[in-house]
Amino acid sequence: MLDYIFMAFSVGAIFTAFLVISKNNPVHSVFFLVLTFGNTSALLLLLGVEFLAIIFWIVYVGAIAILFIFVIKLINIKIVELLDNSSRYLPIGFIIGFILLFEIYIYIDSYSGHINTENLLELNNINFIYTNIYNSTNIELLGEILYTDYWLNLIIASIILLVAMIGAILLTLSHETDIKRQDIFTQINRKYTLTMGS
């Protein structure tokens, strides 16, 4: 049953990926891109890689695809029908696709069937790894490694992102003098006086 579900999501991912590059409307292409990410995340869930599946939804669907839609709508891209000129990109597309598939084939062929049994761990270590790692989820293992062995790198990366965010805010601020600005301190310390008309 799982094999048929895997095949269905695989066909769905291939079909929606083809629609991404075949549609002339960029908004429709982004919608099919979201469907492609959804099918791919379902495949990752079936393979037991739930962390990457969640990252696909949070990063790609929740951020990048929505950002594409906002950019398309904000800069008001004119939707132009390119039916006459779309066929000129097919040869270079086939060439790039063939090169990519050939590289994937070389990579898989070079690493298949070359496991050296002499370099494997001892049986006790294998049993320890099986009982302590195999029974844990991917998120648990990544969290344990990230917050124990690489905690310093995590803090440094968070500080860099914080500085970048503050820098982006400061760069976008306007410092013109003729703009009226609110002074909270002056407003709070102002004395209330009731003036009666004569």
Kindly state whether residues 6 and 73 are assigned to the same domain: yes
Kindly state whether residues 74 and 126 are assigned to the same domain: no
Kindly state whether residues 100 and 32 are assigned to the same domain: no
CATH code for the domain of 76: 1.20.120.1200
Structural domain boundaries enclosing 130? 122-180
Kindly state whether residues 56 and 1 are assigned to the same domain: yes
The low-confidence residues of the chain, meaning pLDDT below 70, are 74-87, 111-135, 174-179, 192-198
Q: What pLDDT is attached to residue 129?
A: 53
Kindly state whether residues 128 and 165 are assigned to the same domain: yes
Q: Is residue 192 part of a domain?
A: no
Kindly state whether residues 17 and 57 are assigned to the same domain: yes
What are the phi and psi torsion angles at 98 (to 5°)?
-65, -40
Q: What pLDDT is attached to residue 120?
A: 47
User: How far is 172 from 168, CA to CA, in rounded Å?
Assistant: 6
Q: What pLDDT is attached to residue 152?
A: 92
Kindly state whether residues 38 and 56 are assigned to the same domain: yes
Kindly state whether residues 138 and 76 are assigned to the same domain: no
Kindly state whether residues 64 and 105 are assigned to the same domain: no
Q: Of 114, 131, 159, which closes a domain?
A: 114
User: How far is 107 from 22, CA to CA, in rounded Å?
Assistant: 29
Kindly state whether residues 1 and 72 are assigned to the same domain: yes
Q: Longest C-alpha distance within the chain, in Å?
A: 104
Kindly state whether residues 102 and 64 are assigned to the same domain: no
Q: What pLDDT is attached to residue 87?
A: 67
Summarised one tens digit per residue, pLDDT across range 110-162 is 766 554 545 444 444 555 555 555 567 777 778 888 888 888 998 999 999 89
User: How far is 159 from 167, CA to CA, in rounded Å?
Assistant: 12
User: How far is 61 from 38, CA to CA, in rounded Å?
Assistant: 8
Beta strands in 24-107 (DSSP E): none
Cβ-contact 82, 24 below 8 angstroms: yes
The total of structural domains in the chain comes to: 3
Q: What pLDDT is attached to residue 26?
A: 78
Q: What pLDDT is attached to residue 160?
A: 93
